[in-house]
Structure 1
């Protein structure tokens, strides 16, 4: 019964995670780690593979190995459920969740860096053109700063304010 509930929970939680498409690695990884943690299935991501069980293994060692093995198996399934098919097929088969996540990171971290550059360029060159309200314009710039933060590129609040002020046309001179 518990196994069925875990699998149902895995599927329902997986559907709430943005599907990894190759350009959203940081967001995807953060969500994967959070959800596996909530499900108490992140053991395989947190510790190295425990020693194999032998006849002399203690009850504690057996329990750790069993928990790790379950976390590892379900962790890999969970990650694969949250990827587009063409990415799954290009990744090497790996039976270790921690190594699998590292393989994904090695392959797609550069796409995140490229995205970071595009987001930063958008933030620094965005101009208010009046086609939408001021509120929406400021929110859009704030969203860009938040996305940059998820990529590890923190935009200080004072810089964000300066970018927003710089994006305003001359008629907003009194604010500048």
Structure 2
């Protein structure tokens, strides 16, 4: 009886499944009252039903399982309507009078970008003329650390 409603499917199916489990327990001579079943369903509802749970607890009237189902379905519909779609907008500040490196790269083709990366130099030792995977200092450092050797590019 510790199954939680995870928001998949609808809440009516979840409550009916709980009811079926309770009826199977009744066949095994373990009877759960309807009030207890209603409370268990409410307890196992997810956090976005918290406002609904509070409103149930504030009233004196106890619901039947059918009334709980109808109220839960209404609440589920209300939550779906309240859920708003959102998109995140990102913008970049414009540097006055400065050209960005990536703006220049966008105008170049892929072959020119590769040449520019090679001319920038090694990311490990910061010396121009080679890249990190061909750097002798990098391979010596990996060997010192006990890391496996990389395949060197030609």
TM-score between both structures, scaled by the size of structure 1 = 0.32
Bigger radius of gyration: 2
Q: Name which structure has the greater RCO, CA cutoff 8 Å, separation 6+.
A: 1
Would you tell me which structure has more helix in proportion to its own residues? 1
Q: TM-score, normalised on structure 2?
A: 0.35
